[in-house]
């Protein structure tokens, strides 16, 4: 079931909750063990958990996927074009980590993973990818899908996306490492006292950007998505090889659900709070 | 330190009997708690300073000793075989990943003792629960000495009987109110540390240096008792990578560093299993996971993972809030 499909448990109408009475009711449960069949773990905040509940989903387990890929010796030596071995290593690491996250999600009967923290590191001889998130499912889930989704969207964004009729498909990822070619000795000397653009670095950045963005879009198409939201990029020279430019992009691949896009129509509100939020003694002299 | 409240320092007992209450809550949280019917009674704390003398340099569990003869590998241990045969005395012809249960026990003892002391003060003050817990741990002057410190605000639930045990939570104020409103009651904080030691096998060494290598490592072991749930365990364990499984047929470079990947995965899963053993069939809410990796010596690493959160119990049926209405603010 996608989050945009009907069939989720109906949410109760807004009502004033007597928290004091609820607390008295809650403390009584401490005298008895839970009747849940199995415990669950989640790194969602209470706000995120409530947002997830409001669209009929619930957390199952905190899960992770890790992969480290070796980068061969010598690839960071000065050259030209793309540093293919480094690009491949980081891509493989992310793919393997996402695959493991998906496997673990399936093992707990999850429909997908939300709030995935994407931790990427590139060292001289290895590229590391660590993905940690919470496996989720609809509260009335019957059977998990064959291929759960992986999304780095927060539970809040996941719920909002569901309200708009869209569904996450997976993590889209692309990266590229490119050498900034050497300038000739003559060029270095002629530019030494000038304020000029170093086109070798600019071109390397553009080259890495294009390759990485294209790979990210291709990976989104591979999982059947029509676009990528919440794209994040990391770019710049490698700290241990300043002539090597890295561009990495990732985001959540999405597509419209079976009922298509739904307009959310947010309500426009105006805050009537006083602009001055704190008392300032100096204001008395104005 | 004995668990009995009668063994609290005399000054603590005298202070807790004072008519003035103390609280570590912010004014916002204080107001929210009063609204819920929670009355602060005391700002409570627990300390414990631990020395880990068997940890790191000088450890009896140095490379060359078989951890299987010790207490290692309670949930996870795995060995990695060299495909090359005898090459030389400095060749790492075997490697191991194993859970350092003695380190985990020491961390658990330090955290647990500080926690018990905090709860002991709350009990002495006649509290029903402790909210807004903040826990810190830091290395003192020596690397082998760690201080655990927990603070929180002991509260009484107005109009309720004292629970069988003092309940505790990291939450306070509106976040606690929302948790209750959503149908969950905090039971206790839950925290655990997992420690996995990595002794590199030759192929891992070559990969970490970016060098070419031949052959594939053989793996034995995995997660004890976790294979069915995690899907990772047993011989081979479900990990695959380029450069592995190819026998001795030619050189390879790159490929997945399987041994380190499995160590990192194991540290996180073992921490989760430790916490799971504490929460029973309840739910762990708002988990925080932090991982640290350090190199003890050449080819000798340690991956530690700390997982903590609030154990909560559902006291009413699934009762979702209305879907929040999106708004746009005009400024």
Of A92-106, B73-87, B95-109, B196-210, the least confident? B73-87
Q: State the pairing for strand pair B94-99/B76-81.
A: antiparallel
pLDDT reported for residue A243: 92
Residue B70 has pLDDT above 90, yes or no: no
Residue A283 has pLDDT above 80, yes or no: no
| Minimal Cβ distance to A14: which of B230, B243, B322 | B322
| Minimal Cβ distance to A50: which of B178, B254, B326 | B178
pLDDT reported for residue A147: 87
- Residue B212 forms contact with A (CB below 8 Å): yes
pLDDT reported for residue B236: 33
pLDDT band at B13 (very low <50, low <70, confident <90, very high): confident
B327/A132 CB distance under 8 A: no
pLDDT band at A284 (very low <50, low <70, confident <90, very high): low
A19/B283 CB distance under 8 A: no
pLDDT reported for residue A141: 80
Residue B318 to chain A, least CA–CA distance (Å):
8
Of B122-136, B144-158, B234-248, the least confident? B234-248
- Residue A71 forms contact with B (CB below 8 Å): yes
| Minimal Cβ distance to B281: which of A23, A39, A43 | A39
Tell which CATH classification among 3.30.110.70, 2.30.30.100, 2.50.20.10, 3.30.565.10 matches the domain A38-257.
3.30.110.70
Residue B33 has pLDDT above 80, yes or no: yes
Quick one: B5-50+106-168 is in which CATH superfamily? Hypothetical protein apc22750. Chain B (3.30.110.70)
Q: So where are chain A's domains?
A: 38-257
A125/B208 CB distance under 8 A: yes
Q: In the predicted model, what is the mean pLDDT of residues B203-224?
A: 78
Distance CA A241, CA A239 (A): 6
- Residue A161 forms contact with B (CB below 8 Å): no
Residue A6 has pLDDT above 50, yes or no: no
- Residue A113 forms contact with B (CB below 8 Å): no
pLDDT reported for residue B62: 53
pLDDT band at B238 (very low <50, low <70, confident <90, very high): very low
Chain B residues touching A124 at Cβ < 8 A: 210
Of A212-221, A237-246, B58-67, B166-175, the least confident? B58-67
Q: Which residue has the higher pLDDT, A107 or B6?
A: A107
B282/A93 CB distance under 8 A: no
Q: Highest mean pLDDT range out of A176-190, B47-61, B241-255?
A: A176-190
pLDDT reported for residue B73: 58
pLDDT reported for residue A85: 94
pLDDT reported for residue B231: 32
pLDDT band at B96 (very low <50, low <70, confident <90, very high): confident
Chain A residues touching B253 at Cβ < 8 A: 70, 72-73, 85
Q: In the predicted model, what is the mean pLDDT of residues B103-125?
A: 93
pLDDT reported for residue B224: 60
- Residue A164 forms contact with B (CB below 8 Å): no
B285/A42 CB distance under 8 A: yes
Q: Which residue has the higher pLDDT, B228 or A48?
A: A48
Nearest to B80 by CA among B303, B257, B246: B257
B253/A72 CB distance under 8 A: yes
Size of interface A-B (CB pairs under 8 A): 241
Of A5-19, B141-155, B267-281, B295-309, the least confident? A5-19
pLDDT band at B69 (very low <50, low <70, confident <90, very high): very low
- Residue A11 forms contact with B (CB below 8 Å): yes
Interface test with A, best of B261, B290, B325 (most A CBs within 10 A): B261
- Residue B2 forms contact with A (CB below 8 Å): no
Q: Taking each helix axis as running N to C, give the angle between helix B27-36 and helix B173-181, from 0 to 180 degrees, rounded to the nearest 10.
A: 30
Q: In what order do the strands lie in the sheet with B145-157?
A: B38-51, B145-157, B129-139, B167-168
pLDDT reported for residue A39: 79
Per the DSSP assignment, residues forming a β-bridge with B283 are A40, B312
Q: Specify the residue for token string 């045969």.
A: B85
Q: Highest mean pLDDT range out of A97-106, B102-111, B252-261, B312-321?
A: A97-106
Of A240-254, B119-133, B313-327, the least confident? B313-327
A25/B264 CB distance under 8 A: no
Residue B233 has pLDDT above 80, yes or no: no
pLDDT reported for residue B110: 94
Q: Is A106 exposed, middle or buried (0-12, 13-18, 19+ CB in 10 A)?
A: middle
CB-based burial, A16-29: b 16+ in 10 Å, e otherwise:
eeebbebbbbbbeb
Q: Specify the residue for token string 């609809």.
A: A138
- Residue B17 forms contact with A (CB below 8 Å): no
By C-alpha distance, the chain B residue nearest A84 is B254
Q: In the predicted model, what is the mean pLDDT of residues A53-63?
A: 90
B313/A268 CB distance under 8 A: no
Q: Is A9 exposed, middle or buried (0-12, 13-18, 19+ CB in 10 A)?
A: middle
Nearest to B150 by CA among B130, B167, B165, B164: B130
Residue A166 to chain B, least CA–CA distance (Å):
16
pLDDT reported for residue A279: 57
Q: Which residue has the higher pLDDT, A118 or B73?
A: A118
A12/B256 CB distance under 8 A: no
Q: Which residue has the higher pLDDT, A208 or B214?
A: A208
- Residue B62 forms contact with A (CB below 8 Å): no
The residues in A 180-239 lying below 8 A from B, measured between CB atoms, are none
A75/B210 CB distance under 8 A: yes
Q: Specify the residue for token string 């003890």.
A: B296
Chain A residues touching B233 at Cβ < 8 A: none
Residue B61 has pLDDT above 70, yes or no: no
Residue A140 has pLDDT above 80, yes or no: yes
Of A147-156, A277-286, B302-311, the least confident? A277-286
| Minimal Cβ distance to B180: which of A19, A56, A159 | A19
pLDDT in tens, B279-292: 988 999 999 999 99
What is the SS3 assignment for B221?
A: strand
Q: Percent of chain B scored above 90 by pLDDT?
A: 38
pLDDT reported for residue B76: 87
Estimate the share of chain A in helix, then strand, then coil, as percent rounded to the nearest 5. 30, 30, 35
Arithmetic mean of pLDDT over chain A: 88
Residue A105 has pLDDT above 90, yes or no: yes
Residues in contact with A15: Cβ distance below 8 Å, sequence separation at least 6, in sequence order? none
pLDDT in tens, A193-246: 889 899 989 999 999 999 999 999 999 999 999 999 999 999 999 999 999 999
Q: So where are chain B's domains?
A: 5-50+106-168, 67-99+193-314
| Minimal Cβ distance to B37: which of A20, A30, A267 | A20
Q: In the predicted model, what is the mean pLDDT of residues A106-120?
A: 95
Q: Percent of chain A scored above 90 by pLDDT?
A: 62
Chain B residues touching A279 at Cβ < 8 A: none
The residues in B 161-190 lying below 8 A from A, measured between CB atoms, are 163-165, 167, 171, 175, 177-182, 184-185, 187
Please report which residue ranges of chain B form alpha helices under DSSP H. 10-16, 27-36, 101-124, 173-181, 202-208, 227-230, 258-279
Chain A residues touching B313 at Cβ < 8 A: 29-30, 34
Chain A residues touching B157 at Cβ < 8 A: 23-24, 27
pLDDT reported for residue B307: 96
- Residue B93 forms contact with A (CB below 8 Å): no
pLDDT in tens, B137-147: 988 876 678 89
pLDDT band at B11 (very low <50, low <70, confident <90, very high): confident
- Residue A165 forms contact with B (CB below 8 Å): no
Residue B276 to chain A, least CA–CA distance (Å):
7
pLDDT reported for residue B17: 73
């Amino acid at each position: 079931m996608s989050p945009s499909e009907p069939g989720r448990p109906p949410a109760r109408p807004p009502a004033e909750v007597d928290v004091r009475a609820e607390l008295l009711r809650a403390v009584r449960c401490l005298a008895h063990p839970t009747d849940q069949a199995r415990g669950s773990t989640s790194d969602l905040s209470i706000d995120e958990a409530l947002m997830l509940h409001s669209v009929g989903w619930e957390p199952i387990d905190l899960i992770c996927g890790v992969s480290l890929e070796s980068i061969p010796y010598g690839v960071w030596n000065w050259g030209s074009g793309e540093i293919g071995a480094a690009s491949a290593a980081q891509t493989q690491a992310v793919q393997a980590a996402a695959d493991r996250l998906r496997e673990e999600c399936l093992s707990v009967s999850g429909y997908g993973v939300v709030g995935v923290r994407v931790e990427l590191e590139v060292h001289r001889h290895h590229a590391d990818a660590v993905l940690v998130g919470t496996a989720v499912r609809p509260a009335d889930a019957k059977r998990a899908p064959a291929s759960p989704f992986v999304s780095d969207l927060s539970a809040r964004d996941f719920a909002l996306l569901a309200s708009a009729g869209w569904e996450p498909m997976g993590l889209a990822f692309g990266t590229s490492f490119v050498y900034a070619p050497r300038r000739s000795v003559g060029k270095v000397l002629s530019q030494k006292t000038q304020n000029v653009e170093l086109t070798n670095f600019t071109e390397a950045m553009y080259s890495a950007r294009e390759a990485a963005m294209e790979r990210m879009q291709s990976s989104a198409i591979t999982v059947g998505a029509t676009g990528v939201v919440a794209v994040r990029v990391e770019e710049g020279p490698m700290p241990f090889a300043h002539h090597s430019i890295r561009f990495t992009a990732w985001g959540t691949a999405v597509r419209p659900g079976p009922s298509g896009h739904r307009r959310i129509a947010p309500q426009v509100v105006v805050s009537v709070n006083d602009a001055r939020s704190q008392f300032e003694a100096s204001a008395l002299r104005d | 330190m004995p668990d009995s409240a009668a063994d609290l320092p005399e000054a603590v007992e005298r202070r807790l009997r004072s008519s003035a209450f103390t609280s570590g809550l912010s004014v916002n949280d204080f107001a929210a708690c009063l609204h819920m019917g929670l009355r602060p009674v005391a700002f409570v704390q627990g300390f414990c300073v631990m020395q880990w003398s068997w940890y790191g340099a000088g450890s009896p569990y140095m490379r060359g000793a078989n951890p299987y003869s010790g207490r290692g590998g309670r949930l996870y241990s795995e060995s990695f075989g060299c495909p090359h045969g005898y090459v030389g005395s400095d060749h790492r012809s075997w490697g191991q990943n194993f859970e350092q249960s003695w380190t985990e026990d020491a961390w658990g003892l330090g955290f647990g003792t500080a926690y018990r002391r905090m709860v002991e003060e709350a009990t002495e003050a006649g509290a029903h629960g402790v909210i807004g817990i903040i826990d810190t741990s830091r290395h003192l002057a020596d690397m082998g000495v760690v201080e655990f410190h927990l603070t929180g605000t002991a509260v009484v639930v107005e109009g309720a009987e004292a629970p069988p045990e003092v309940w505790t939570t990291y939450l306070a104020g509106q976040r606690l109110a929302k948790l209750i409103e959503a149908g969950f009651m905090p039971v206790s904080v839950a925290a655990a540390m997992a420690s996995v030691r990595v002794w590199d096998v030759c192929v891992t060494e070559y990969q970490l240096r970016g060098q070419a290598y031949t052959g594939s490592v053989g793996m034995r072991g995995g997660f004890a008792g976790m294979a069915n749930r995690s899907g990772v365990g047993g011989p081979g364990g479900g990990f695959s990578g380029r450069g592995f499984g190819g026998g001795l047929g030619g050189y390879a470079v790159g490929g997945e560093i399987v041994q380190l990947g499995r160590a990192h995965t194991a540290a996180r899963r073992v921490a989760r299993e430790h916490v799971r053993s504490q929460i029973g069939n309840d739910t762990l809410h708002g988990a925080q996971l932090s991982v640290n990796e350090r190199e003890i010596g050449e080819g000798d690493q340690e991956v530690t993972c700390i997982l903590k959160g609030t154990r909560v119990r559902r006291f009413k049926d699934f009762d979702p809030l209305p879907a929040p209405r999106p708004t746009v603010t005009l400024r």
